[in-house]
């Protein structure tokens, strides 16, 4: 997605060979027009999958997840990272280990919002080692619903999440794929639609 890649080129900051900061449009300040385009692109890529629900994870997955859901005309549910006061019963949970932060967290979704006949599109902002996405997959499976695909705004292809998920047979669509952050942002060579 060209507008997204341009935004990354102009506003992304390489913090290290592993980490890209995109606080001006995705992770802190959010660019609504860009998110609307991101939503349209996800909807376009997954339009034949009969998606009935979008599942994402707070906080940075919510903006792209919401815009994809708006275009697909389905609800969006976000997994919580902390226990909510009112969300106590009938939780679907998964534990997610972050190699980046070296911590494991329990994520949860109420079983009210995922049904056996749902076809779920998982959306997240970044794909690094794939642990958040795998946690969301576990939650979908626990509900009896089906994972119809995984949509990622920025995939760091030099980390193993993308291959892990694709080897498991999931259709992963990433709108920008970064092959390296050494000496600046390098995108994976691919045909631009
Ligand atoms: P994984 O799920 O793919 O295994 O990723 P990892 O544990 O490494 O990621 C931990 C957090 O860091 C996630 O956000 C993820 O989106 C984010 N992240 C990973 N790599 C990058 C990067 O290069 N740049 C930026 N900006 N973020 C990255 P989170 O802590 O859950 O936060 P949030 O969703 O509340 O923003
Ligand atoms: Na994040
Ligand atoms: Na995230």
DSSP H helical segments within 80-179, as ranges?
A: 131-143, 161-167
Closest CA to 140 of 75, 53, 64, 42: 53
pLDDT of residue 74: 98
Query: Ligand 2 centroid to 83 CA: how many Å?
Result: 19
Atom of ligand 1 nearest to the CA of 57: 34
pLDDT of residue 191: 63
Whether the bond into 59 is cis, omega within 30 of 0: yes
Ligand 1 binding pocket mutation candidate from 62, 107, 128 (most atoms within 8 A of CB): 128
pLDDT of residue 138: 98
Query: Ligand 3 centroid to 128 CA: how many Å?
Result: 9
pLDDT of residue 82: 84
Q: Is 130 annotated as a binding residue?
A: yes
* Per-residue confidence in pLDDT tens, the chain, 193 aa: 999 999 999 999 999 999 999 999 999 999 999 999 999 999 999 999 999 999 999 999 999 999 999 999 999 999 999 876 666 678 999 999 998 889 999 999 999 999 999 999 999 999 999 999 999 999 999 999 999 999 999 999 999 999 999 999 999 999 999 999 999 999 998 766 5
Asked whether the whole model's pTM tops 0.80, one would answer yes
pLDDT of residue 99: 86
Atom of ligand 1 nearest to the CA of 23: 26
pLDDT of residue 100: 84
Query: Ligand 2 centroid to 117 CA: how many Å?
Result: 30
**Ligand 1 pocket by Cβ (under 6 Å):** 19-22, 27, 59-61, 98-101, 125-132, 156, 161
């Amino acid at each position: 997605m060209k507008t997204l890649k341009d935004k990354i080129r102009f506003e992304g900051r390489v913090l290290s060979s592993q980490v890209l900061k995109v606080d001006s449009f995705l992770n802190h300040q959010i660019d609504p027009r860009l998110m609307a385009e991101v939503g349209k692109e996800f909807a376009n890529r997954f339009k034949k999958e009969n998606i009935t629900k979008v599942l994402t994870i707070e906080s940075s997955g919510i903006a792209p997840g919401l815009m994809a859901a708006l275009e697909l005309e389905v609800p969006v549910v976000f997994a919580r990272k902390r226990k909510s006061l009112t969300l106590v019963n009938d939780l679907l949970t998964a534990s997610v280990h972050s190699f980046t932060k070296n911590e494991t967290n329990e994520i949860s979704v109420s079983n009210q919002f995922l049904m056996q006949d749902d076809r779920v599109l998982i959306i997240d902002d970044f794909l690094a080692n794939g642990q958040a996405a795998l946690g969301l997959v576990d939650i979908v499976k626990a509900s009896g619903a089906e994972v119809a695909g995984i949509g990622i705004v920025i995939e760091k292809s030099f980390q193993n999440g993308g291959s892990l998920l694709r080897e498991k047979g999931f259709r992963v669509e990433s709108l920008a794929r970064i092959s390296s952050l050494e000496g600046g942002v390098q995108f994976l060579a691919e045909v631009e639609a």
